[in-house]
A and B are shown apart, each in its own frame.
Chain A
Amino acid sequence: MTVTQAIHLIEQFAAQAPFAVWIMDSRGISIFANRKLHEIFAIPEHPSGALGFNLFDDPAVEALGISELSRKARAGEPIDAVIEIPHPEELKTSVVAGRTTPLTIRVTCYPLRSSAQKIEHYVMMISDVTETSHNREALKAQLRDLAIYNKSRESRLARLKELQEDVARIERQLRELGAEPAA
């Protein structure tokens, strides 16, 4: 492995990654976007359709309720969050996208610092986790059902016991009267 090969491969990592890579300058303006980003959001023009936007000041930040997350990311705190992106018609954003369905994405954002610890860039890596996220939510909903069931479990058991005792009592009474309880 030569130095030139290594440099080339490092560049290719961003280009060929199976997740979206969005790089911003220190102001938050997008300066690099890979092809996967365009695929996830269906942004038509590659790469220009995803460049030149200030992602920290985009109207979508407020619309998505992630202002605090955005503030932390801007301050240099690494972020790892799952974000629900609604249908495009319900979301105001500067980024023009041809996406037609809601999305659930996992976003990892971290700063790149100089040797003087000054933030020079931000890197955002985005994966489409719509399917896995929905499966997890469905499982959690099932668990809520279980909790509800567990709450009523005791009363159901008490009702069962009460019925069993009453049936046994009537059967005893019938036998005392010389009758065989009906099947």
Chain B
Amino acid sequence: MIPKLYTSAPLPEPLDLFGQMLAQAPFALWMADREGRVFLFNEAMRNLVGIDDPDRILGSYNIFKDPIAASQGLIPYIKRVLDGQVIQTVVMMDLSQEDFGKKSEEEPKVFYVRCLYFPLKDGHGSFEYVVMMVENITEEYLEDISLSRTAHELETANKEIVERERTITELKRRQKALREQLSNLQGV
């Protein structure tokens, strides 16, 4: 089965090269118009979020009202894409906040995704469309979190090492002084 490209205006089959490029892409993607309405998504997006009925999304789902992005304060940033900005961010995708209909109970509902938002210009050169590409990076993200935590531990450890070296130097100095004092007392 060849992966599909879902669009609000059904495309002629077979898809051309660029249509195939999006349909068969391993990354999830959707496109929205200036008002935020999704008019295109690919099979990877359908699988990632578990879209049951494409027609329920196409032309009506609004990325500017997306509860997952809204809960993380992303909507104002996403809107900047229409000013020509490219935005990349990591989002915790909690599908319990948004039911697309298809995810089974067993499938994970919370995962981390890297979202890349960029604009597309229309024929007159103005930014009219928003592309969102999504990759599930849960494993990489958790590794990064672990790296950051360990980096924090390293910083603490470095402070500790400096402090300990200072104590050792001080103790050595005191040990020497006391030994001299003792030698003098013992008349050695």
Q: A13-B22, A121-B20, A160-B167 are in contact. List 7 more A-B contacts (CB 8 A).
A: A7-B16, A7-B19, A80-B26, A114-B2, A139-B151, A140-B147, A146-B153
Question: Given A145-B154, A146-B150, is A170 in contact with B175 using a C-beta cutoff of 8 Å?
Answer: yes
User: Roughly how many angstroms separate A132 CA and B154 CA in the complex, as a whole number?
Assistant: 20
User: 1/0 per position for B138-179, CB-CB distance to A under 8 A?
Assistant: 000000100110110110011001001001100110110111
- We find that the number of chain B residues with CB closer than 8 angstroms to chain A is 58
User: Roughly how many angstroms separate A173 CA and B167 CA in the complex, as a whole number?
Assistant: 22
User: Roughly how many angstroms separate A60 CA and B179 CA in the complex, as a whole number?
Assistant: 68
CB contact between A3 and one of B5, B9, B86 (< 8 Å): that residue: B9
Question: Given A10-B19, A164-B171, is A108 in contact with B185 using a C-beta cutoff of 8 Å?
Answer: no
- We find that the number of chain A residues with CB closer than 8 angstroms to chain B is 56
A17 CB–B CB distance under 8 Å: yes
Residue ranges of B at the interface with A (Cβ–Cβ < 8 Å): 2, 5, 7-12, 14, 16-22, 24-27, 31, 33, 39-40, 59, 86, 116, 118-121, 123, 129, 131, 144, 147-148, 150-151, 153-154, 157-158, 161, 164, 167-168, 171-172, 174-175, 177-179, 181-182, 185-186
User: 1/0 per position for A58-78, CB-CB distance to B under 8 A?
Assistant: 000000000000000000001
Q: Which residues of B contact A7 (CB under 8 A)?
A: 11, 16, 19
Q: Which residues of A contact B161 (CB under 8 A)?
A: 149, 156
> Are B21 and A23 in contact, with the CB atoms below 8 A?
yes
User: Roughly how many angstroms separate A14 CA and B181 CA in the complex, as a whole number?
Assistant: 82
CB contact between A11 and one of B18, B40, B171, B178 (< 8 Å): that residue: B18
A37 CB–B CB distance under 8 Å: no
User: Roughly how many angstroms separate A114 CA and B3 CA in the complex, as a whole number?
Assistant: 10
User: Roughly how many angstroms separate A26 CA and B32 CA in the complex, as a whole number?
Assistant: 32
User: Roughly how many angstroms separate A160 CA and B168 CA in the complex, as a whole number?
Assistant: 6
Question: Given A6-B11, A13-B22, A23-B17, is A174 in contact with B181 using a C-beta cutoff of 8 Å?
Answer: yes
A91 CB–B CB distance under 8 Å: no
> Are A17 and B118 in contact, with the CB atoms below 8 A?
yes
Q: Which residues of A contact B157 (CB under 8 A)?
A: 146, 149-150
> How many residue pairs at the A-B interface have CB separations less than 8 Å?
140
Q: Which residue of A lies closest to B2 (CB)?
A: A115
Q: What 5 pairs across the A-B complex have the smallest Cβ distances?
A: A163-B171, A170-B178, A146-B154, A1-B39, A3-B9
User: Roughly how many angstroms separate A20 CA and B144 CA in the complex, as a whole number?
Assistant: 25
Residue ranges of A at the interface with B (Cβ–Cβ < 8 Å): 1-3, 5-14, 16-18, 21, 23, 32, 78, 80, 108, 110-115, 120-121, 123, 136, 139-140, 142-143, 145-146, 149-150, 156-157, 159-160, 163-164, 166-167, 170-171, 173-174, 177, 179, 181-182
Q: Which residue of B lies closest to A178 (CB)?
A: B185
Q: Which residues of B contact A80 (CB under 8 A)?
A: 26
> Are A8 and B181 in contact, with the CB atoms below 8 A?
no
Q: Which residue of A lies closest to B158 (CB)?
A: A149
Min CB distance A115 to B, Å, is 5
User: Roughly how many angstroms separate A137 CA and B5 CA in the complex, as a whole number?
Assistant: 38
Min CB distance A41 to B, Å, is 19
> Are B27 and A108 in contact, with the CB atoms below 8 A?
yes
Q: Which residues of A contact B12 (CB under 8 A)?
A: 3
User: Roughly how many angstroms separate A23 CA and B153 CA in the complex, as a whole number?
Assistant: 45
> Are B168 and A123 in contact, with the CB atoms below 8 A?
no
> Are B19 and A143 in contact, with the CB atoms below 8 A?
no
Min CB distance B87 to A, Å, is 10
Q: Which residues of B contact A10 (CB under 8 A)?
A: 5, 16, 18-19, 22, 40
